[in-house]
Amino acid sequence: MAAYGNENAEMRLNNGKKQSWLRSLADSDLAVGWLFTLPFLVLWAWWFFYPFLQSFIRSFQDANFASLGDAKFIGLQNYVQILNDSEFYRAVIHSLQIVVIAVPLQTILGLIMAILVNQKLKGKGMFRTLFFIPYITSQIAITTVFMMLFKQGTFVTEFFTFFGFDNATWFADTRYALLFVAILFIFQQAGFSMIVYLSALQEVPKDLYEAGQMDGASKWAQFRYITVPYVKPITFFVVSVATILGFQIYDQIAAISRYGALGSPAGATSTVVTYFYQHGIRYMEIGYGSAAVVLFFFIIMIITFLQKKLLDDKG
């Protein structure tokens, strides 16, 4: 009986030790922080880091999908070849053009829409929904509708003739096809920017505007000196996200090129992503395609860094 009692005491002691170990772990902010972050980290590592690492390794190989087992290490040859390919530079320029045209426009448009739907207007809920719908609609569906609208002879192409454009099928014309892609991007992305800006605008303290009004600040001055600085961190977020998505634009181009070569017409809509897809997937040169992706990664990284620096300096 006594021995039995001792056993129980020992078990209680052990349980106590276990509980205190768990409790001390639960007490540690660092451990809890890591544990809560762990699911994301594991999935991120599995779905993003590991594939990127694979791409990085492949970028130094002469690797083909058809015979991955025969991949050979070729050093920087893929990179050298890409940097000597005029098509790559053409693709980079097109990507930059989309970003340079579309990102500022969608940012400004998003902010304007957010300001509008932040007013005390009748039916503002409906407008918020209407502006946001394109963002959650399938890119292919929107592209298909726009392709019908931008056909030669429609009221849309007719309307644009007032601005000096020819009445042509935009996505089949090498002069307008890239602009068509940029318009598609702006149309979709502005809704997202609007929602993000809207949440930021609702955080701006009302008394700042009241103080501004009392000091005689015009509406423009209030916008320039209160709203813009207040939403600056959001602007950085909106611009960064739009830049990355602008560089990654693919679905719209694939839809335009449905029955032709990717980047159609005549490569006028080729971008860095289509360049990668063309080589890495379509031509099965996964080593070469991976090198393009790695270069692309660094291009985006540098541009995002420059954006941050620029916005920080201006602030």
Q: Which stretch, 111-119, 124-132, 265-273, 303-311, contacts other proteins (CB under 8 A)?
A: 265-273
Q: Which two tokens stand for residue 30?
A: 């660092």
Using the rule CB under 8 A, which residue among 11, 18, 20, 27 binds other proteins?
27
Using the rule CB under 8 A, which residue among 194, 262, 273, 294 binds other proteins?
262
| Residue 278 identity (one-letter amino acid) | Q
Contact between 259 and other proteins (CB under 8 A)? yes
> Residue 173 or 242: which CB sits closer to other proteins?
173
Contact between 181 and other proteins (CB under 8 A)? no
Separation CA 113–CA 5 (nearest Å): 75
Collapsing DSSP states into helix, strand and coil, what is residue 263?
Answer: coil
Contact between 64 and other proteins (CB under 8 A)? yes
Closest distance to other proteins from the beta carbon of 150 (Å):
8
Buried b (16+ CB within 10 A) or exposed e, 23-62: eeeeeeeeeeeeeeeeeeeeeeeeeeeeeeeebeebbbbb
Per CB under 8 A, which of residues 139..168 are in contact with other proteins? 147-148, 150-152, 168
Per CB under 8 A, which of residues 36..55 are in contact with other proteins? 36, 38-39, 42-43, 46
Separation CA 16–CA 23 (nearest Å): 10
Q: List helix spans (H) across the chain.
A: 2-27, 29-44, 50-58, 77-83, 86-117, 124-136, 139-149, 155-160, 177-201, 206-214, 219-222, 228-230, 232-247, 251-256, 272-276, 286-314
DSSP 70-101: G-EE-TTHHHHHHHT-HHHHHHHHHHHHHHHH
Q: Which stretch, 200-208, 235-243, 252-260, 295-303, contacts other proteins (CB under 8 A)?
A: 252-260
Closest distance to other proteins from the beta carbon of 190 (Å):
25
Using the rule CB under 8 A, which residue among 25, 53, 141, 145 binds other proteins?
25
Residues 6+ apart with CB under 8 A from 261: 267
Q: Which stretch, 65-73, 104-112, 121-129, 221-229, contacts other proteins (CB under 8 A)?
A: 65-73
- What is the CB neighbour count within 10 angstroms for residue 185? 23
Q: Which stretch, 223-231, 244-252, 274-282, 291-299, contacts other proteins (CB under 8 A)?
A: 274-282
Using the rule CB under 8 A, which residue among 283, 305, 306, 315 binds other proteins?
283
Q: Which residues bind other proteins (CB under 8 A)?
A: 22-23, 25-27, 32, 35-36, 38-39, 42-43, 46, 64-68, 147-148, 150-152, 168-169, 171-175, 258-268, 278, 281-284, 286
